[in-house]
């Protein structure tokens, strides 16, 4: 399998889906010139401006019109450029797209993909660096996906496009250039299935998105100390793969949950609570969580570094679990 970047993998997947189904189209700001990060480069030449649609700078207009189109049978892919900008269209997503199927008694669906680039990225500062996945997991009716690898960014995007419910699809900006093997024939990856990124016996690290790579680096360090960490990449936060997580934690009896988002109220707390409710008597150490402090993301590179959940912090927290 050839090495492909995270960005190019998703671009290929979108192009293949658009060739397969003429009801799929993409809309957002600057798509005609390839998108802010190049995710749509070359697509307007193949599909034309009727399917790669440049929109004015109005996120609520972009998403609101797409929700209406989806209810009438189209399958739009909506580019929000940054997850932070999607907040301008929160009503259209949370109060309209997420609820339409329920409120109309199943007479309509909203097969919509909202791409929201997330995460810390090159001093992007407080308004361009947020990871807000927990907000969307809280909303009934939304599917939430956060791919960590090029292969997953291709397969999960295909699955998201084919899903009949609205999907919040959160790609990490710091992974755009990450290279990895991607099959020539990209198959959809079922939503709600975690990926075993590394097998281990001593503790389970549950994580997603860019933190998968920090956890893998930490696991290499821990292996030098004779500690074998099992790493689960959730891939989909809603639905999340409870069965795989519970099976792993039952076996290792220790768990560390790692997220880049602010620790307070993050999705890691939901996983921790679920494990505590059902596996408390089987664990040999307290459940631990790592996440960012509850502060705006600084612009200053040294301060931003303090906010990041590093591989070193992951490794040290894992060691403390083993000591417990």
Residues taking part in catalysis: 128
C-alpha distances out from residue 117 to 78, 82, 95, Å:
12, 5, 21
Kind of pairing, strands 3-5 and 179-181? antiparallel
d(CA 188, CA 260): 26
Return the structure tokens found at 105.
């008694």
C-alpha distances out from residue 310 to 57, 207, 213, Å:
35, 13, 10
Q: CB neighbours (10 Å) of residue 94?
A: 19
Residue 114 has φ and ψ, to the nearest 5°, of: -110, 110
Pick from 107, 224, 247, 91: nearest CA to 164: 107
d(CA 275, CA 246): 7
């Amino acid at each position: 399998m050839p090495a492909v970047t995270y960005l190019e993998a998703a671009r290929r997947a979108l192009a293949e889906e658009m060739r397969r189904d003429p009801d799929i189209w993409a809309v957002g700001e600057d798509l005609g010139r390839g998108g802010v990060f190049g995710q749509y480069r070359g697509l307007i030449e193949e599909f034309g401006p009727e399917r790669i649609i440049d929109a004015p700078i109005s996120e609520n207009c972009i998403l609101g019109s797409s929700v209406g189109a989806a209810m009438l049978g189209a399958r739009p892919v909506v580019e929000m450029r940054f997850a932070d900008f999607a907040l301008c269209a929160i009503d259209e997503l949370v109060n309209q797209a997420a609820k339409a199927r329920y409120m109309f008694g199943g007479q309509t669906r909203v097969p919509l993909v909202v791409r929201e680039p997330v995460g810390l990225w090159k001093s992007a500062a407080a308004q361009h660096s947020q990871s807000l996945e927990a907000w969307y997991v809280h909303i009934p009716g939304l599917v939430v996906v956060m791919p960590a690898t090029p292969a997953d960014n291709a397969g999960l995007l295909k699955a998201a496009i084919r899903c009949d419910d609205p999907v919040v699809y959160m790609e990490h900006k710091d992974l755009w250039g990450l290279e990895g093997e991607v099959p020539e024939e990209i198959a959809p990856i079922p939503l709600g299935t975690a990926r075993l990124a590394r097998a281990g016996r001593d503790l389970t690290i549950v994580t997603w998105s860019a933190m998968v790579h920090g956890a893998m680096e930490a696991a290499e360090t821990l292996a030098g100390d004779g500690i074998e960490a099992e790493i689960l990449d959730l891939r989909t936060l809603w639905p999340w793969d409870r069965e795989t997580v519970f099976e792993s934690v039952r076996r290792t009896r220790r768990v560390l949950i790692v997220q880049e988002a602010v620790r307070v109220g993050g999705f890691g707390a939901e996983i921790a609570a679920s494990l505590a409710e059902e596996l408390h008597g089987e664990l040999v150490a307290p459940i631990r969580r790592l996440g960012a402090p509850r502060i705006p993301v600084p612009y200053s590179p040294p301060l931003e570094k303090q906010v990041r959940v590093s591989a070193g912090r992951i490794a040290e927290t894992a060691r403390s679990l083993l000591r417990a």
